[in-house]
Structures are given as structure tokens and as C-alpha cells.
């Protein structure tokens, strides 16, 4: 989880906790790992002739 400041014009707002917004990067990390795993599995399936090219 990453904390980013909300877009405000008053700098005093950043002192309180409501001036920030949490975001999660787990979705994007999971998406990248899913692509890598799918590519590796498909290459292994072609190598061991489980799937045709």
C-alpha cells in the first residue's frame, strides 16, 4: 500500500490523516506475474510437445 496526498491547494490539509489517500499496487504486481507465468507455461508446453506451435 502506498500513501499519496490528495490534490488540495491548502498545505495545512496534509498535516491531518484525511489529506492522504491509500492505494494498493498488488493488483498490478499480480497482473505482471500472471503474464510472466502464462508465457513460461506456454513455452514449456511447446517444448515438451503438449501444445502445437
Residue-range domain boundaries for the chain = 2-47
DSSP 1-53: -EEEE---S-GGGGGSGGGEEEE--HHHHHHHHHHHHHHHHHHHHHHTTSS--
pLDDT digits (tens, 9 = 90+) for 2-41: 777 777 655 655 566 667 778 888 888 899 999 999 999 9
Q: Who has greater pLDDT, 26 or 52?
A: 26
- In this prediction, residue 13 carries a pLDDT of 57
Amino acid 5: pLDDT: 74
Q: What is the pTM of this model?
A: 0.53
Answer yes or no: are the C-beta atoms of 21 and 1 closer than 8 Å: no
Task: Give Dmax (Cα) for the chain.
Answer: 64
φ, ψ for residue 49, nearest 5 deg: 60, 35
Amino acid at each position: 500500500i502506498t500513501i499519496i496526498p490528495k490534490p488540495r491547494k491548502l498545505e495545512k490539509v496534509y498535516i491531518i490523516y484525511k489529506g492522504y489517500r491509500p492505494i494498493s499496487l498488488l493488483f498490478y504486481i499480480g497482473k505482471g506475474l500472471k503474464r510472466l507465468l502464462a508465457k513460461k507455461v506456454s513455452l514449456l508446453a511447446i517444448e515438451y510437445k503438449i501444445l502445437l506451435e
